[in-house]
Structure 1
Amino acid sequence: MSHDVPSRPRRRTGLVAAVALTGLLAIYVWAVALRAVQLVATGETVAVVLGVALLVAPLLVLVLIGREWLLAVDVQRMADELATDGDLPVDDLPRSPSGRVDRAAAREAFGPHRERVEAEPGDWRGWYHLAFAYDAAGDRARARAALRTASRLHKGGSASAELP
């Protein structure tokens, strides 16, 4: 018996929330930068130093936010490519009644993904799957590092990647 799920439009609430938060952040950065310019314009030493510091912070924020958006766009491209090939990671790990992933099962399922990356360190697909294995195991920092490696390899970067 086939359980066909009716086709429904994809919900983009995460994207809408990210765009909204980025917009709010842009307003905040603009306000801080405006105040920084006003401080620098006073010509007073302390105000100038504070103004310059306030100008550097928004620039740093903009660079970091831009970096995250570029990663998100490439992760979506990779996911679309994997979906087309029928190779998206499948979340079939056992869960507790509260919905949390069973950590022992996640650690056990992690091994094949790590072995795949060790065997083929230049394969972005392996790194993508490893990232989701790290995430399921609760290691978000390594998951993010693996996604960055997958993204770099997907864009044609160096094949000399190390496991996080």
Structure 2
Amino acid sequence: MKGTSTKVVVTIAAIVVALSFYFVLLGQRGLALVQDGRAVPVVLGIAVLILPVLGVWMVFATVRSGLQHQHLATRIREEGLELDISELPKRPSGRVDRDAADALFAQVKTEWEADPDNWRNSYRLARAYDYAGDRGRARDTMKRAVALEALERDS
């Protein structure tokens, strides 16, 4: 597990460094266009300068979100509340079989409905959504779990 997490961190660091290099180059091109002084290049330069700002924000938000999710995953693992999918049937791709994922989801949703304000239940529900293939709801529910865990930690 330790080796896998190190590889992930190194990969993420390499991507962030590459993106940083790209953002710097893009910013330089945008500044060159703005310094041209003519109307069209200036407008284009301003538009190009917006791209690195958006890129930095997206990288920051993604890394922050990943760290928050990892924090919750660590807490869930330490508390022994991870969803056990080891015995569930899998597709050739390695993903959990759809019917098994749906059954797991139904069970976890029942637990969540009993205590929806518990971050642990929201985390488990987000993971169940993910196994069932509903990425959008998984993201939304994980955001809720992060917010609930932060409230618990702050109180």
TM-score normalised over the length of structure 1: 0.83
1:38 to 5, 21, 32: 32
Secondary structure of the corresponding residue to residue 4 of structure 2 = coil
> How many percent of aligned residue pairs carry the same amino acid?
35
Is this contact kept in 1: 2:125–2:138, CA < 8 A? Answer: yes
Aligned residue in 1 for 2:97: 102
Bigger helix fraction? 2
Instruction: Rate the CA distance shift 1:102–1:45 in 2: closer, same or farther, 3 A.
Output: same
Unmatched 5+ stretches in structure 1? 1-7, 158-164
Alpha-carbon distance, 1:58 to partner? 1.4
Deviations 1:101-121 (A, max 9, x none): 210110111012222333322
How far apart, in 2, do the equivalents of 1:53 and 1:100 lie?
41
The count of residues paired between Structure 1 and Structure 2 equals 150
Which aligned pairs between 1:69-148 and structure 2 lie closer than 5 A? 69-92=63-86, 93-148=88-143
How far apart, in 2, do the equivalents of 1:100 and 1:89 lie?
14
How far apart, in 1, do the equivalents of 2:111 and 2:90 lie?
25
Aligned residue in 1 for 2:62: 68
How far apart, in 2, do the equivalents of 1:22 and 1:66 lie?
9
